[in-house]
Amino acid sequence: MILTLDVGNSNIFIGLYNDGQLVNNWRIATDKNKTSDEYGVILMNLFAAAGYGLADVESIIISSVVPSVMRSLKEMTGNYFEADLLTVGPGIKTGINIRTDNPKEVGSDRIVNAVAAKAKYPPPLIIVDFGTATTICAVSAEGSYLGGAIAPGIEISTEALFNKADKLPKIEVNKPLKAIGKNTEDSLKSGIYFGFIGQVEGLIARFKEELGENTMVIGTGGFVKEIGYEIEEIDVIDEYLTLDGLYHIGKINGYTGDDND
C-alpha cells in the first residue's frame, strides 16, 4: 500500500492507495507542536480503525508547506514505518515543465495539483485550490505549469475581519438567502460568501483571457465542498486531486511498484 500526506497550514490530508486506487482518506489538524510520536499514534489509530496496519505501507510520499511539521513527520515515518520515503521538492521527477521565474519557489502543493490535473484532464487547465490560501494555477495547452495567483482563503479572511473590527460579531460562514442583508449578521454572510465567490470568478475570467475560453477549470482543496459548487465557472470538483498528484509523482519516481510513465 502507498501512503500519501499533503501537509497544509490548516490540515494534513492523508490518502492510502492500494493497487493504484484510493481506498481511504483522512484529514487531521496541522499542529506544529505535535511530536513525531503523537503523529505516529494518530496514524496508528486511523489505520487500525480502517482495518489496516502500518506494516502494510510500502512507500510514503509527502508534500509539505510547513517545514517544522515536515521534520516531525520524517522522524515519525522512520520510527513507525518500514517504508521508502519520498518528499516532494526540487530534484524529483514531476513530469511537468515549470515555466516560472524561479521554479524552486513554487509551493510543492501547487506543483502536485498541476501534475495530477495534467494526468487526469485535457489541458489547458485552471486549478482552484480552496485551502488556507486560495491558489489558482495555470497549465498551458502544452502541459506546462505557467504560474498563478495566491489570495487569502475564506477562513483566514474572515478571521482577519473579526480580529480587526471589534464591533463585528463572529459568525459561521454559510450561504445567505439573499445578497442584500437586512442585519449585520446577514450582511457579513453576504459580503464574505458572495464576495469570495466574486473574487474567484474574476480571477478565473482573467486567467481564461490569457489561456483561452476553452480552458477546463478544476476545483479542489479543503473548502471546495463549502463553496466550489456555487461557482459556475468550475467544470469539475476533484476533492482528491492533491492525493492523486502525490501518488502519480511517487509512480514516476518508482515508489509505487507500478510501471513508470
C-alpha cell at 160: 482577519
Evaluate whether 173 touches 189 at the Cβ level (below 8 Å).
yes
The residues near 73 (Cβ < 8 Å, ≥ 6 apart) are 5, 7, 36, 39, 62, 64
First to last CA, the chain: 19
Tell me the backbone φ, ψ of residue 110, rounded to 5 degrees. Answer: -70, -40
Catalytic status, residue 101? no
> Taking Cα atoms as reference points, which of 56, 115, 108, 64 lies closest to residue 82?
56
- Among the listed residues 37, 56, 84, 109, the single catalytic one is 109
CB half-sphere exposure, 157, CA atoms < 13 A: 19
Active site amino acids = 109
